[in-house]
Amino acid sequence: MEKIIELKNVTKRFGGITALNRASLHVNKGEVVGLIGDNGAGKSTLIKTLVGVYGPDEGEIAIRGKKVFNWTALKARESGIETVFQDRALCPQQSIVWNIFMGKELRYPFGFVREKEQVKEANRLIREIGFTSKLIDAESPVGNLSGGERQGVAIARAIYNNAELIILDEPTNALSLNETQKVFEFVNNVKKSNRSVLFIGHNIYHVYDISDRFVILDRGEVVHQLNKEEIQSPEELMKLMRDTIKKH
């Protein structure tokens, strides 16, 4: 199985704090990996290291099996890794198509935006990831969309940017049950297209439902890596997490 990305024994310190301690993690092509851990466990630090925002103090990063050097956010994006942060990156007063193409518009040689093509492509993208409502199309304003649908627009944009791995940071926080279901549908469609997802969440039930594999972080260390078959229920996953926390 092809590993899209791999972190090997990565350590990251902030002054006296060791936010990541020899953490290793990989994401295979076409799989959804759930990353869980308590507040301060190091989830955000791990993601930021993965996408080149932080350089690791120790350890290696490999992309499709090849070790990378001087890893940067730009290189991560060029390698097909996109991060979707909650809501923040979208412009609600603009349309879906505007938000998908933002900064990367299709243009004629003399500079004008190829609007019709963009609308067509945006409609194709949002249908592909699972927008089914006839009331929503590429030209609908993002401000009219629900929280889950906004996540969908951000995911569509990541796909337009040729993402092979989409990192979702707490995508279901503050979403209703229906909205969460919508995000799951989007994630499942991303998976069907043989792309990968790294799903970060506090809600163990959400992470359990959507993931093929789980990585549990605790105080900067990866304490468990488990396949879905090894865990019978979200309660069991929760218990595993609690037990590791208790050990300290």
Output phi, psi for 95, to 5 deg.
Answer: -80, 170
Q: Verify binding: residue 44, ligand ATP, rule CB under 6 A.
A: yes
Q: How many residues does the chain have?
A: 248
Q: Which is nearer to ligand ATP, 73 or 102 (CB)?
A: 73
Q: State which residue, 39 or 232, has the beta carbon closest to ligand ATP.
A: 39
- Shortest Cβ 211–ligand ATP spacing (Å): 17
Nearest CA-CA partner of 238 in 195, 193, 190, 205: 205
In angstroms, what is the minimal distance from the CB of 28 to ligand ATP?
23
How many Å apart are CA 210 and CA 61, to the nearest integer?
A: 25
Instruction: Check residue 16 for interaction with ligand ATP (CB under 6 A).
Output: no
Diameter of the chain by CA atoms? 64
What's the token pair of residue 173?
């926080």
Say how many CA atoms lie within 13 Å of 164 toward its Cβ: 14
In the complex, least distance from residue 203 CB atom to ligand ATP, rounded to whole angstroms:
12
Which member of 1, 16, 39, 132 binds ligand ATP (CB under 6 A)? 39
Q: What angle do CA 204, 209, 211 make, to 5 degrees?
A: 90
Give the x-and-dash track for 135-164 against ligand ATP (CB under 6 A): ------------------------------
**Segment lying near ligand ATP (by CB under 6 A), choices 14-22, 126-134, 186-194, 238-246:** 14-22
In the complex, the smallest distance separating the C-beta of residue 45 from ligand ATP, rounded to whole angstroms, is: 3
**Piece of 42-50, 89-97, 178-186, 240-248 that binds ligand ATP (CB under 6 A):** 42-50
Residue 19 as a binder of ligand ATP (CB under 6 A): the answer is yes
Q: How many residues bind ligand ATP (CB under 6 A)?
A: 11
Which position among 11, 28, 29, 40 is part of the footprint of ligand ATP (CB under 6 A)?
40
Q: Are the C-beta atoms of residues 219 and 248 closer than 8 Å to each other?
A: yes
Strands 32-36 and 213-218: parallel
Sign, Cα dihedral of 25, 73, 147, 44: positive
Partner interacting with residue 41 (select from Mg ion, ligand ATP, none; CB below 5-8 Å by kind): ligand ATP
Partner interacting with residue 141 (select from Mg ion, ligand ATP, none; CB below 5-8 Å by kind): none
Q: Least Å distance between CB 61 and ligand ATP?
A: 17
Q: What are phi and psi of 81, to 5 degrees?
A: -115, 120
Residues 6+ apart with CB under 8 A from 157: 82, 99, 100, 102
Among 32, 34, 45, 97, binds ligand ATP (CB under 6 A): 45
CB of 168 to Mg ion, least distance (A): 13
Residues 6+ apart with CB under 8 A from 239: none
Q: Give contact residues for ligand ATP (rule: CB under 6 A).
A: 14, 17, 19, 37, 39-45
